[in-house]
Structure 1
Amino acid sequence: MFEILTTDQMYEADRRTIDGGVSGETLMDTAGRMVFDEIVRHWSPRSVSVLCGPGNNGGDGFVIARLLRDEGWSVRLGLLGDTENLTGDALLHAKRWDGATERLSPALVVGADLIVDCIFGAGLARDITGEVADLIAATNQSMAAVVSVDVPSGIDGNTGAVMGCAIKADLTVTFCRAKPGHYLLPGRQHCGELAVRDIGIPDQVVAELRPNCWRNDPALWRAGICWPGLDGHKYHRGHLLAFGGGAMSGATRLVARAARRSGVGLLTIVSEPSAMPVYAADAPGNMTASIGGLDGLLNDCRHNAFVVGPGYGVGDDTRGLVLQLLHLCRATVLDADALTSFADDPSTLCFAIKGPTVLTPHEGEFSRLFPDISGDKLARARAAAKRSGATVLIKGADTVIAAPDGRAAISSVDAPWLATAGSGDVLAGIIAGLMAQGMEMFDAACMGAWLHGRAGSDIGPGLIAEDIPDHLPTVLRELWLASRK
């Protein structure tokens, strides 16, 4: 269940399921039971306050409150508005609640050991203010554990934006599929643990919606991995040219190590002659070549992929090199200085991209390259990919990868340890290495981001960029063994 659905797609999935013969009443009852199951799995009986809004999210709350009370929990229920104003399935389930219904207010969280947030769902359209904002503040300040239903109230399900204020949950339970706001910051920070539960919406219904956004998971790109064959040789695994700067050699050395650990057959670092001894001494498997012999290198079609930018320097020389490489339409990864060198003329870069190209900006580099593109991270990545014709990967804790055709993936690995110097250089090297081996650019960017994140999560505290490439064999072996089952 790694597809990600927008709020509109989720509403449509509900509608189609109901049209197929499953009543809305049953869907709401099942949703409430799924949340109940998660609550009793995580906590023992205690005093709980269920905070209900006026829509279907609140209807789920009535189901949850009834089930918890029937199991002997001490339950208080608060409702925003009056029961008489509820409609549809929410009203049906509200009538089955025979306990007291209090007015929704901050007083409800006083003395509660667990708070169940069913105030607003993913489709919230305006900022939260007034007494509900006060209630959310009181909830966040309390010592109680918090469970949110669908999304934490105040989070935009499509963008992850905070709508004025938002609940900070310890557990969020959503249904059928996750939404972008569960993974995009700051929404992801408000969700706590995320549980996606099946409530009876058929997979076929989801498939008919043709989702084009996914959680970045091996299931998305596993089929595109270019594992070496028994009859293969090193040139079958690609020959990557990594362009190294003279003054900042460390970045390209990280690129080179990551690319080789990703499986590329051969790697040559191309630099000024004065820097070649530094790169040659770094690792015996690194080959080196002078930038003065570039034309000869590029005439050899076995040099099938390029990575340029980390530590290379910003300026006209970098611009000229990038345009020369793009003209060949071979697999290319552009990062760091290769992107910033086009900040004054991004249209020239976009016009030059004709072959398989991946751009890997962080937020600052993205804003310099695409200053007129705004919106949430997913929307910005898609717009930049469509404009440039490249796969665009915007780095961060919520890394987003977008292809020119609109496909997108969002990373969900928790790896804060990756926020360290050189980490992005390693990512560029991994992606370039995968592309050199023949992997399609969107798949390579997704797999590279996943490998990078998984390594960061596994290594944990104390991680430095040099650690990441050396952990790749462990993660790649897991993928390889899984592919043989």
Structure 2
Amino acid sequence: MEELLTPAEMARADAAAIAGGIPGIVLMEAAGRAVARAAMRRFRPVRTLVLAGPGNNGGDGWVAARLLEQAGWPVSVAPLARPRPGTDAALAAARWRGPVVDFSPAEAARAGLVIDAVFGAGLSKPVEGLAAEVLAGLAAPVLAVDVPSGLDGATGQVLGAAPQAVLTVTFFRRKPGHLLRPGRDLCGETILADIGLPGGVLPGIAPRAWRNGPWLFRVPRPGAASHKYSRGHVGVAAGPGMTGAARLVAAGARRAGAGLLSIAAPDAATAAVLRAGDPGVIVREDLGGMLADGRIGAWVIGPGLPPGGGTRDLVRRCVALGRQVVADAGALRAGGPEALAGCAILTPHEGEFAALFGPPGADRLSSVRAAAARVRSVVVLKGADTVIAAPDGRAAINDNAPPWLATGGTGDVLAGIAGAMLAQGLPPFEAACAAIHLHGAAAALHGPGLLAEDLAAAVARVLPTVWFD
């Protein structure tokens, strides 16, 4: 299920495993073995310096040093401080027979590889003094244990200083900070290692965050008995003069599986332009009739619409009629949060989110959760590390979006995909997760040079990868 555990939840998982009969030193040996294996697979034997903190993270480093030395690597350990006597980390340190050197910039400068085992994901205060000086000045490739030291595993933010790792080895489950930027960037490649910690500890922890992916949603595979009405009908409100936005929404929804797509045109001139486009799109000029048609259960409102009272009123009418609304663009700027309460999905980028709820700040995950609870809607904070949160506290972080999505119109396609997922019966949280995943996967499949017009066709190519019978 790709659960994400906060550092506090990970500590509870460790404690539950130990209480269940797995000695802590056994887990530490397994973690250090995973680090040593990752080093041997990724790097050639070079002068290696293990920077070891006084806690369990440092204990993992002492184990990795011993195993690398046994494999013939030239290894030294530089302890920031010795582990507290009687701890598992102290036992791991006592098993080391190799050289112990000063924790200093000079020693770090002599290394061809640095294993950063100073602080783990649960760091609660900024890195300062000698530790900050050494970590900030590392020039050799860095393999980080759990997270690069100085990185907050809960938020992905840097506390004081943190090195740039080329490889990070973490254990049992990822933390939010492995996916949230800048943490994701600083981790480099992240390896999730199995250290024998049983999955049976998770029910007692009840995680509420996940890495986004197909394990979070079920998109129905069309069957022999499927027809255009059973696959869902999506309505789109078009604005005057910006017909391209509505057309991109329509393309995203249709390619993502909606059986029918109707656009409500505000006037005859706009309708004429829309009818000259894709022939499979229904264009109507009777908005009231479309709103009264209960078969149009999902609406996308906002792309191409002006941020005024008319857009706000349309959102409120749809919600009052029990329609599921994806609110984007103009709808997000047509009133405060209360005007959007009860929508199925809101899809703001960071500027729109800040205007509605205030800047997300350092703890993006908590901010989006609070916003979702406030408006009783799923909120999608779009970005390279898109956060999806439901009013009940469930959240997902997406990490499959390539940089070439940063082009005009791709958000309109995303809104259409989300509308199609709602129309096909997915609940709002699952619909948002599916839309974000498909959006990123389609862009990655297409590759550089992506235009919004290309994206919908690519969605059709990745859609079968998430179908379930």
Specify if TM > 0.5: yes
Alignment match of 1:334 (pick from 318, 327, 342)? 327
Residue by residue over 1:109-132, the C-alpha shift from the partner in whole angstroms, topping out at 9 and shown as x without a partner, is 223221100010011111112221
Mapped contact 2:353–2:359 kept (Cα < 8 A): no
> In the alignment, which residue of structure 2 is the partner of 1:318?
311
Residue by residue over 1:138-172, the C-alpha shift from the partner in whole angstroms, topping out at 9 and shown as x without a partner, is 11xx1x22110011111100000110111111111
> In the alignment, which residue of structure 2 is the partner of 1:118?
117
Residue by residue over 1:378-416, the C-alpha shift from the partner in whole angstroms, topping out at 9 and shown as x without a partner, is 111110111111011100010011111111111021511
Secondary structure, aligned partner of 2:261: strand
Equivalent pairs, count: 468
Mapped contact 1:385–1:403 kept (Cα < 8 A): yes
Most deviating of 125-134 and 56-65: 125-134
CA distance in 1 between counterparts of 2:161 and 2:277 reads 51
Alignment match of 2:274 (pick from 279, 287, 296)? 279
CA distance in 2 between counterparts of 1:359 and 1:199 reads 39
The runs of 5 or more residues in structure 1 that have no matched partner are none
Mapped contact 2:128–2:160 kept (Cα < 8 A): yes
1:456 positional shift: 1.5
Alignment match of 2:211 (pick from 212, 215, 229)? 215
Mapped contact 1:55–1:86 kept (Cα < 8 A): no
> In the alignment, which residue of structure 1 is the partner of 2:27?
27
Mapped contact 2:53–2:82 kept (Cα < 8 A): no
CA distance in 1 between counterparts of 2:409 and 2:264 reads 19
Distance 1:385 1:399, change over 3 A: same
Mapped contact 1:426–1:468 kept (Cα < 8 A): yes
CA distance in 2 between counterparts of 1:79 and 1:190 reads 22
Mapped contact 1:238–1:266 kept (Cα < 8 A): yes
1:108 positional shift: 2.0
5 Å-filtered alignment, 1:80-91, equals: 80-82=80-82, 85=84, 87-91=86-90
- 2:67 is the counterpart of 1:72: no
- 2:416 is the counterpart of 1:429: yes
- Residue 458 of structure 1 aligns with an amino acid whose one-letter code is L
Residue by residue over 1:166-219, the C-alpha shift from the partner in whole angstroms, topping out at 9 and shown as x without a partner, is 111111100000000000111111010111111111111123311111100101
> In the alignment, which residue of structure 2 is the partner of 1:4?
4
Residue by residue over 1:269-301, the C-alpha shift from the partner in whole angstroms, topping out at 9 and shown as x without a partner, is 1122211122111211111011xx222222221
5 Å-filtered alignment, 1:430-445, equals: 430-445=417-432
- Residue 299 of structure 2 aligns with an amino acid whose one-letter code is F
> In the alignment, which residue of structure 2 is the partner of 1:262?
256
CA distance in 2 between counterparts of 1:393 and 1:437 reads 19
CA distance in 1 between counterparts of 2:399 and 2:86 reads 36
CA distance in 1 between counterparts of 2:402 and 2:454 reads 14
Residue by residue over 1:23-70, the C-alpha shift from the partner in whole angstroms, topping out at 9 and shown as x without a partner, is 011110010001111111112211111111111111111101111111
CA distance in 2 between counterparts of 1:373 and 1:167 reads 25
Secondary structure, aligned partner of 2:143: strand
CA distance in 1 between counterparts of 2:382 and 2:86 reads 44
CA distance in 2 between counterparts of 1:263 and 1:408 reads 25
CA distance in 2 between counterparts of 1:236 and 1:339 reads 30
Q: Which runs of 4+ in 1 moved over 3 A?
A: 372-375
Secondary structure, aligned partner of 2:416: helix
Alignment match of 1:305 (pick from 293, 298, 306)? 298
- Residue 231 of structure 1 aligns with an amino acid whose one-letter code is A
Distance 1:414 1:360, change over 3 A: closer
The runs of 5 or more residues in structure 2 that have no matched partner are none
> In the alignment, which residue of structure 1 is the partner of 2:135?
136
Residue by residue over 1:81-129, the C-alpha shift from the partner in whole angstroms, topping out at 9 and shown as x without a partner, is 246x455001001011111212211112223221100010011111112
Compute the RMSD of aligned alpha carbons: 1.4
- Residue 187 of structure 1 aligns with an amino acid whose one-letter code is G
- 2:371 is the counterpart of 1:384: yes
TM-score by length of 2: 0.97
Mapped contact 2:265–2:287 kept (Cα < 8 A): no
> In the alignment, which residue of structure 1 is the partner of 2:235?
241
Distance 1:149 1:86, change over 3 A: farther
